[in-house]
Copies of this chain bind each other. A is one copy, B any other.
Amino acid sequence: MNKLVANAKEATKDIESGMTLMLGGFGLCGIPENCIAALVDKGINNLTCISNNAGVDDFGLGLLLQKRQIKKMISSYVGENDEFERQMLSGELEVDLIPQGSLASRCQAGGAGIPAFFTPAGYGTEVAFGKEVRYFNGKPHILESALTADFAIVKAWKGDRYGNLIFKGTARNFNPLMAMAGKITIAEVEELVEPGELDPNFIHTPGIFIQRIFQGEKYEKRIEQRTVRQRLT
């Protein structure tokens, strides 16, 4: 069960133009920095990216947007990015906006072999256009379908070569869900440990969902909104 690869370049070697990718993270928190850099280097384009956000102008998925490598974004919130706005308003970039909970559940469903489910989110809004509506307990719901991807790319705190992962704090977010939904899932970790070091009882993502793993060269872990309080002196 050795899924170790050397680095981001090797992990992403067969990602091609036109593919659909899932990328973990919420804002800039828990994003696969090293793989994104490798994708920028590869110069592939026409990518469909499923990611809750689209990064900022000069970090995260913003780096792929700058180089016009993304054809379509499937996200729940895409503020904080001027280049994104420009491409979207000019029609260069397709954008599919999805309620955040539906996005999370659709990824989870994709990984879990559940092709579709009913949710109340979005009923009566433009999100429901063309979707089946059904009432349960007198309340309207819409049918949402599962999402999968050619590659899912996630970032974890620690992992072993079997692919077992643990995440740190709110950097967990979409990562464990997308890890389940990739035809091939790549995990980049801050720290690679030996199998057996992670307590089986506290593994967030079992290795079965991961096909490739490597320790990232470096992590900037940029903070988007640095908010602090004053110390009482």
Contacts and interface: CB of A to CB of B under 8 A. Distances in A.
Interface stretch (A50-58, A75-83, A112-120): A112-120
Contact of A117 (B118, B167, B200, B202): B118
Contacts of A112: 105
A163 to B, nearest CB: 19
Contacts of A117: 109, 114, 116-118
Nearest to A199: B202
A113 B168 CA distance: 27
A191 B167 CA distance: 26
Majority SS of interface residues in chain A? mixed
A141 interface: yes
A201 interface: yes
Interface string A156-179: 000000000011110000000000
By size class, the interface of chain A is 20 to 34
A47 to B, nearest CB: 23
Contacts of A120: 113
Interface of A: 105, 109, 112-120, 134, 136-137, 141, 145, 166-169, 200-202
A97 B119 CA distance: 26
A174 to B, nearest CB: 16
A15 B114 CA distance: 34
Nearest to A169: B201
A169 B112 CA distance: 22
A226 B141 CA distance: 47
A18 to B, nearest CB: 20
Q: Which of A112, A145, A167, A200 has the most CB of B within 10 A?
A: A112
Nearest to A141: B115
25 contacts: A105-B112, A105-B114, A109-B117, A113-B119, A113-B120, A114-B117, A114-B118, A114-B119, A115-B118, A115-B136, A115-B137, A115-B141, A116-B117, A116-B118, A116-B134, A116-B136, A117-B117, A117-B118, A136-B145, A166-B201, A167-B201, A168-B201, A169-B200, A169-B201, A202-B202
